[in-house]
Amino acid sequence: MERLLVVLCPELLEEQEDGRAARTFAGVVEVVESFSPAAGAVRPGVCAVPTRGPSRYFGGDVRLAGLVRTALSRTDTALGRVEGHIGVADGLFVAVLAARAAGDEPVVVPAGASARFLAPWPVEALERPELADLLRRLGIRTLGAFAALPTRHVLGRLGTQGSVCHELARGMRSELPGYRLVPRPHPATAATGDGSAGAQVRQAGFWGEAAEAEARAERALGHLEQLLPPDGVAVGRLQGGRGPAERARLVPWGGRRLDPAGPGPEPWPGQLPAPAPASVLARVPASVVDGRGAELEVGPSGLPSAPPEQLSVRGGPWQPVTAWAGPWPVDERWWSRRKRRRRARMQLVTSCGMAYLVVREDAGWWVEGAYD
C-alpha cells in the first residue's frame, strides 16, 4: 500500500466567495511540491504526496514531515500564515486521520500499524452516517470493534459498502471511495515514487531557474483550476489595441495553448508607444491645467492648447509637471453618430517623480495608468 504524507488545512476545507481559499491552498500545494513533484490536491484543504522517494532522500518519514511543517510555517499566503496539520501513514484514509490528530507536531503512523492506530477512532470517521448509526445500534462504536467482525458476516449483513468500510477499518484499503475530489496527476506529469520525475524537474532548474519556476507555476495553477469552475483560473494575453486596458485580455488556463499569445499584424493608429504603464487604472478623475490655470484642451488637430503645467488626481494637491509627451489622439468609429469615440492620451511626469498616463475624453481628464 502506498505510503503518503497528508497536509490538512482546516480553514481551507470550504471555499470562500472571493476564491482566496483556493488560491491560498494552491500555495500550500506548491510548498509541498518543493519536496516532491508528485504532490497533489486531494480535495479543498487536503493535499498528499507519496513518501517513498522523498523520505529516503530527506532521512525518513519523521524528518520529511518536520521539514514540510517548517516550510509551511514560513510561508505567507493570501490568508496570511496557514495552519497545516501533517500526517504520514499507509494509505490516504489513515494519513488523513493522522493529520486530523496532529497538533503542532506531525503524527507519523509506523508502517504496518494502521489497524492499531485506527482501533480507537469512532465509526463516524468512515463518513457514512447511515452505516455508523446502524453499527452503534449494534453496539459497535469504534473502528477496532468493527474490524474485529468476521468478514463474511459483514458482507452478508452490510453489503458491499459495509465490506469496503470494513477493509478500511482493518487497514487493508487505501482510501474511502468518493473522498478524493481531484483526480490523481497524469502519470506523464507525476513522479513514479522513486524520484525520477523529481530529477527531471530539478534538472530543468539546474540548467535554468526560470524553467523550474515556470514548471512550479504551471503545477500550482493546474491544481487551482481543479478546485474552481472552468473559467476560475485565467492567464493574461496581449492583443491589438490602442490603450493599455484594450491590449490585455484573460484566457482560461485550460485553453491557453489553443489561444495564441501576442497581437496580430493589424495596424493601430494612435496606439500608445512603449513602455506600457506598470499599473492600469479604471478612469480615475484628474485635472490638467496650463500655466494660466486654465484646463488643458486638445483640439481637432490633436495638439494641446498649451503646455501642461500642473496635475491634480482625485481632487488632490496640485503637482507641477516637469516633463510630458503626446498627445496621441484616437478617433474611433468616426462614421457613427452614436458609437463615435474621441480620446487623446498624454504622458506626464510630476515633480514628485511620479509618471502618469492621462486621457482626455468626455470633456474631462482621467488617469488611465501609472509608471514605475
Highest mean pLDDT among 155-164, 195-204, 312-321: 312-321
Low-confidence winner among 136-140, 225-229, 359-363 (lowest mean pLDDT): 225-229
Is the pLDDT at 131 greater than 80? The verdict is yes
Looking up cell 452503534 gives 136
CATH topology of domain 3-226: Alpha-Beta Plaits (3.30.70)
Model's pTM, two decimal places? 0.53
Place of cell 518519514: 61
Reported as a single tens digit per residue, the pLDDT across 75-103 is 765 455 678 899 999 999 999 999 999 98
Helix 209-227 crosses helix 20-33 at what angle (to 10 degrees)? 140
Q: Where are the domains of the chain?
A: 3-226, 231-267, 279-371
Q: Indicate whether 191 pLDDT > 70.
A: no
pLDDT surpassing 60 at residue 143: yes
Tens of pLDDT, residues 244-264: 777 666 777 555 554 555 555
Whether the CA torsion 71, 18, 369, 242 is positive or negative: it is positive
SS3 labels along the chain: CCEEEEEECHHHCCCCCCCHHHHHHHHHHHHHHCCCCCCEEEECCEEEEECHHHHHHHCCHHHHHHHHHHHHHCCEECCEECCCEEEEEECHHHHHHHHHHCCCCCEECCCCCHHHHHCCCEHHHHCCHHHHHHHHHCCCCEHHHHHCCCHHHHHHHHHHHHHHHHHHHCCCCCCCCCCCCCCCCCCCCCCCCCCHHHHHHHHHHHHCHHHHHHHHHHHHHHHHHHHCCCCCCEEEEECCCCCCCCCEEEEEHHHHHHCCCCCCCCCCCCCCCCCCCCEEEEEEEEEEECCCCCECCECCCCCECCCCCEEEECCCCCEEEEEEEEEEEEEECCCCCCCCEEEEEEEEEECCCCEEEEEEECCEEEEEEEEC
Q: Say if CB 49 and CB 5 are below 8 A apart.
A: yes
Task: In whole angstroms, give the CA distance from residue 140 to residue 149.
Answer: 10
Burial, 77: exposed, middle or buried (Cβ in 10 Å; 0-12, 13-18, 19+)? buried
Per-residue pLDDT, averaged over 26-33, amounts to: 85
pLDDT tens by residue, 30-65: 888 888 888 888 888 899 999 988 898 889 999 999
Burial of 1: CB neighbours in 10 Å, binned 0-12, 13-18, 19+: middle
The mean pLDDT of 203-224, rounded to a whole number, is 56
Tell me the pLDDT band of 328, cut-offs 50, 70 and 90.
confident
Distance from C-alpha of 220 to C-alpha of 81, rounded to nearest angstrom: 18
Angle of CA points 232, 236, 241, to nearest 5°: 130
